[in-house]
Structure 1
Amino acid sequence: MTDINPAAQQTHQWLETIVVGLNLCPFAAPVLKADGVHIEVCEAEQDQAMISAVLEQLDQLQQTDESTMATSLLVFSQGLRDFDQYWSLVEVANELLQQVGLDGVIQIASFHPDYCFEGVAADDVSHYTNRSPYPMLHFIREAQLSRALENYPEPELIPENNIRKLQTMGKPALLKLLSTESL
């Protein structure tokens, strides 16, 4: 990774330690190893500037060959600390996908330091499957994901398996791992 921005460094470390290290995404390790994950940091706090950053990231992903930029994370280092505000941006970003004709081409996965699944107790360890050091949007090329899923048995069980893995690990061990890695 060439970017020395602290938010980018911390995000990269989180990818290595949590996402790949705990195998929460079985497709992440090869992409990360091949340096195919682009991390873009947005320091904006105003809605319009963050929406512009989403559009710029979508454009950059479309203009860049998959072999150079397989996937992209847009990290909000200053804004979107409030989860509800963040979720509003996630909804806007998904609407933008449709408006610019990228629905079915790119999908967005969401990660936030305070991520909470609806209907799940606030202190449940399952939330950590989508918790990250900063609010971020993960832009995934659907064609690439489809190719990865072709040879993966029962991909629909990935979320359930991740939750079970974190429950087995236990919240104290997970929190220790997170603090050890300065995440």
Structure 2
Amino acid sequence: MTNQQIIAATQAWLKTFVIEYNICPFARREQEKGSIRYRVVSSNSIEDSLEAVIAECVHLDSEPDTETTLLIFSEAFTDFEDFLDLLAIAEQLLIDQGYEGIYQLASFHPDYCFAQTQEDDPSNYTNRSPYPMLHLIREDSIEKAVASHPDPDGIPERNIALTRELGLEKLRAIVNACYQQ
């Protein structure tokens, strides 16, 4: 797939799942403002991937109108355990590069599975996406968004209940439809 097709699938997932089902109550505003940056990393190299993480931090530093970045790994980290290794290294890299407290990473993967959760539990879909990706988020924006939400602590529980209500078949269909975009 081309980078544009990969981005289109990611945007479809964001619109038809994350926003449509209010998985992240803060996503709609940024999508409507056009302040989400999508970047595809097609390298299989962990070094290139980590360089891309820092490059996105630098971009966010210099572009205040870009609220957040979805860093999409089109070729690498298809194995969930390998992806978790990348996440751990990237989180440490943010600390080492002085970005702790400035940017936060959220993670999404086609095979996402929360610890202590069965692989086929629909609640895993709160973090399942068409491609492995890291979401770079401005910490100050998170603080403002959480402060303005009436029940930020209830979001995860609501999402777990919703995904279990929707069921595996519907959730799989939603994600699979994103590839048709």
Distance of 1:179 and 1:77 partners within structure 2: 16
Tell me the CA shift for residue 97 of structure 1.
Answer: 1.1
Contact 2:26–2:145 (Cα < 8 Å) also in 1: yes
Distance of 1:156 and 1:149 partners within structure 2: 9
User: What is the aligned partner in structure 2 of residue 48 from structure 1?
Assistant: 47
Give the SS at the match of 1:5. helix
Give the SS at the match of 1:173. helix
- Percent identity, please: 36
Change in CA separation of 1:181 and 1:45 when aligned onto 2, cut-off 3 Å? closer
Over the residues paired in the alignment, what is the CA RMSD in angstroms? 1.5
Residue 108 (structure 1) aligned with residue 100 (structure 2): no
Distance of 1:170 and 1:84 partners within structure 2: 25
Distance of 1:157 and 1:55 partners within structure 2: 32
User: What is the aligned partner in structure 1 of residue 130 from structure 2?
Assistant: 133
Change in CA separation of 1:181 and 1:55 when aligned onto 2, cut-off 3 Å? closer
- Normalising to structure 1: TM-score of the pair? 0.93
Distance of 1:10 and 1:17 partners within structure 2: 10
Q: String of CA shifts for 1:25-56, please: whole Å, max 9, x gaps.
A: 00000100110100000001011111111111
Tell me the CA shift for residue 146 of structure 1.
Answer: 0.9
Q: Give ranges in structure 2 of 5+ residues lacking alignment.
A: none
User: What is the aligned partner in structure 1 of residue 35 from structure 2?
Assistant: 36
Change in CA separation of 1:83 and 1:171 when aligned onto 2, cut-off 3 Å? same
Structure 1 letter corresponding to 2:82: Q
Residue 164 (structure 1) aligned with residue 161 (structure 2): yes
Residue 119 (structure 1) aligned with residue 116 (structure 2): yes
Q: Give ranges in structure 1 of 5+ residues lacking alignment.
A: none
Stretches of 4+ aligned residues off by more than 4 angstroms: none
More helix by share: 2
Higher relative CO (CA 8 A, sep ≥ 6), structure 1 or 2?
2
Distance of 1:95 and 1:108 partners within structure 2: 11
Residue 97 (structure 1) aligned with residue 94 (structure 2): yes
Distance of 1:155 and 1:103 partners within structure 2: 22
Structure 1 letter corresponding to 2:13: W
Change in CA separation of 1:180 and 1:75 when aligned onto 2, cut-off 3 Å? closer
Structure 1 letter corresponding to 2:158: N
Residue 20 (structure 1) aligned with residue 41 (structure 2): no
In the comparison of the two structures, how many residue pairs are matched?
179
- Normalising to structure 2: TM-score of the pair? 0.94
Give the SS at the match of 1:143. helix
Instruction: Tell me which moved more, 169-178 or 25-34.
Output: 169-178
Aligned match of 1:153 in 132, 144, 150? 150
